[in-house]
Every structure is written in structure tokens, then in C-alpha cells.
């Protein structure tokens, strides 16, 4: 089984990214959720259009890469392009093991004791 992007021509990937090898931003890791903020416009790059259509609901970067069969580094560059123009927004999922603020927990405890 081949990995996405392994069998692609390097020329194709070079063209997709406009010759860039890095996005220049750390905004997108594998679990960053991406949401479309605007519809595609005529003349957009087909991969950008595919991302905008795919991300109408929050979609992880790794899912986008898998769906497009492109390396994650290439997808990060494409996402940075869309993010810079305001066509997508990105957010990181909440960590499940992160505890709430201790002050809030104390206020809840006091409220429960007052019942």
C-alpha cells in the first residue's frame, strides 16, 4: 500500500504549493479542526475548492489530507493559504483530560453546600 503523495510527481506537489515546502505557520497540526467561512469562488485552485466543500463541518487536518490523498505538509500549506484570506477558521479540539478552573470548582462546591 502506498502512502498519500508518495507516488505523486514532485512537480505536481511543487505546483500545488507554489514552490513552498513549509506553511510558515504552526496553526495547523494533525488534529486541528478546520471550518469553512466562505464559499468557493470561480478561478480558485481545485484543491482549495475541495477543502472548502469538505470543511462545511469541522474537519481535522489529517482527514483532509487523507481525503485529498496529499501529504500533510502540502495540506498545511493549502490551509494556510485559505486561512490567510479568511476563507477558513481553525481551532484545536479541547483536551479531554484538562480540568476546569479550580475557582469554578470551588464555586460549584460552595453552591452545592448552600442547597
pLDDT at 26: 78
Q: Is residue 2 part of a domain?
A: no
pLDDT band at 13 (very low <50, low <70, confident <90, very high): confident
Distance separating alpha carbons of residues 81 and 1, to the nearest angstrom: 30
Residue 69 forms part of a structural domain: yes
Residue 4 belongs to some domain of the structure: no
Q: How many helices (H) and strands (E) does the chain have?
A: 5, 3
Asked if 5 contacts 74 with a C-beta cutoff of 8 angstroms, the reply is yes
pLDDT value of position 111: 92
Which residues form the domain of 18?
A: 10-114
Question: Does 44 reside within a domain?
Answer: yes
Q: In this predicted model, what pLDDT tens digit does every residue of 73-114 receive, in sequence order?
A: 999 999 999 999 999 999 987 766 777 788 998 999 999 999
Which CATH number covers residue 47? 1.10.10
Residue 15, domain member (yes or no): yes
The stretch 39-68 carries a mean pLDDT of: 94
Asked if residue 18 is part of any domain, the answer here is yes
| C-alpha–C-alpha distance, residues 23 and 37, integer Å | 20
**Is residue 115 over pLDDT 80?**
yes
Query: What is the predicted pLDDT for the residue at 17?
Result: 84
What is the tens place of the pLDDT at every residue in 15-46? 888 878 777 777 888 999 999 999 999 999 99
Q: Which three cell numbers stand for residue 92?
A: 484545536
**Residue from 27, 24, 75, 72 nearest 48 by CA:** 75
3-class DSSP assignment, residue 3: coil
Residue 25 is assigned to a structural domain of this protein: yes
Number of domains into which the chain is organized: 1
Residue 3 has pLDDT above 60, yes or no: no
Is pLDDT of 9 > 90? no
On whether residue 98 sits in a domain, the answer given is yes
Residue spans of alpha helices (H) in the chain: 10-16, 46-54, 61-68, 72-84, 102-113
- Among residues 30, 79, 21, 27, the alpha carbon closest in space to that of 50 is found at 79
Amino acid at each position: 500500500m502506498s502512502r498519500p503523495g508518495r507516488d505523486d510527481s514532485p512537480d505536481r506537489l511543487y505546483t500545488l504549493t507554489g514552490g513552498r515546502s513549509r506553511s510558515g505557520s504552526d496553526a495547523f497540526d494533525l488534529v486541528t479542526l478546520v471550518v469553512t467561512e466562505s464559499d468557493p469562488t470561480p478561478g480558485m485552485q481545485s484543491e482549495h475548492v475541495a477543502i472548502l466543500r469538505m470543511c462545511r463541518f469541522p474537519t481535522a487536518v489529517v482527514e483532509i489530507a487523507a481525503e485529498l490523498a496529499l501529504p500533510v505538509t502540502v495540506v498545511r500549506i493549502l490551509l494556510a493559504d485559505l486561512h490567510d484570506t479568511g476563507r477558513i477558521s481553525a481551532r484545536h479540539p479541547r483536551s479531554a483530560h484538562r480540568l476546569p478552573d479550580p475557582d469554578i470548582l470551588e464555586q460549584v462546591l460552595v453552591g452545592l453546600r448552600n442547597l
